[in-house]
Every structure is written in structure tokens, then in C-alpha cells.
């Protein structure tokens, strides 16, 4: 039994907000879904796109990246 691959993406929206997500959806499929999403949205906000993605991968999650300096 092989483990499911997990992908991490950095996504920018129209407000120039950057988010990071963790999902099992491969890059090519993300791009296809983005094109589909664009057909019904004139503005692009990460929160809306993430809700859309969750219909395809319910385990998709937004992750927070924090810098640690020492």
C-alpha cells in the first residue's frame, strides 16, 4: 500500500494576500480547477478558492508558515 502524496502550495490572490495550503491535489489538477473557478468569479480571493477546493479535497487545509530566527 502506497502513501497518498501531499502537496504544498503558496497562493496569491487579488488582494496580494499570500496563503499556503496542504492538499492531495496535484499541480496540474489545481491549474484545471483554477480555470474552472475563474469561469464563475471575477475577483479572486483565497478564501473563496479554498472553499471551492475543499469540494475536491475535504482534507485540504490552510497552513501558517512562521519564520524562526536564532
Write out pLDDT tens, residues 18-64: 889 999 999 999 999 999 999 998 888 888 999 999 999 999 999 99
Quote the CA–CA distance of 9 and 6 in Å, as a whole number: 10
Residue 2 lies in a domain: no
- Asked whether the predicted pLDDT for residue 69 surpasses 80, the reply is yes
Give the range of the structural domain holding residue 30, as residue numbers without chain letter.
7-63
Q: How far apart are the first and last CA of the chain?
A: 40
- Asked whether the predicted pLDDT for residue 1 surpasses 70, the reply is no
Q: Are 53 and 33 in contact (CB under 8 A)?
A: yes
Residue that is written with C-alpha cell 490572490 in the block? 13
Q: What is the dihedral of CA 45, 20, 36, 57, to 10 degrees?
A: -120
Residue 70 lies in a domain: no
Mean pLDDT (whole number) for 10-16: 83
pLDDT value at position 45? 85
Say how many domains are in the chain: 1
Residue that is written with C-alpha cell 475563474 in the block? 38
Residue 69 lies in a domain: no
Amino acid at each position: 500500500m502506497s502513501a497518498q502524496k501531499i502537496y504544498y502550495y503558496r497562493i496569491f490572490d487579488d488582494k496580494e494576500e499570500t496563503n499556503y495550503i496542504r492538499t492531495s491535489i496535484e499541480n496540474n489538477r489545481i491549474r484545471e480547477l483554477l480555470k474552472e473557478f475563474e469561469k464563475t468569479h471575477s475577483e479572486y480571493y483565497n478564501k473563496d478558492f479554498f472553499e471551492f477546493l475543499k469540494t475536491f479535497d475535504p482534507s485540504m487545509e490552510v497552513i501558517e508558515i512562521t519564520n524562526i530566527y536564532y
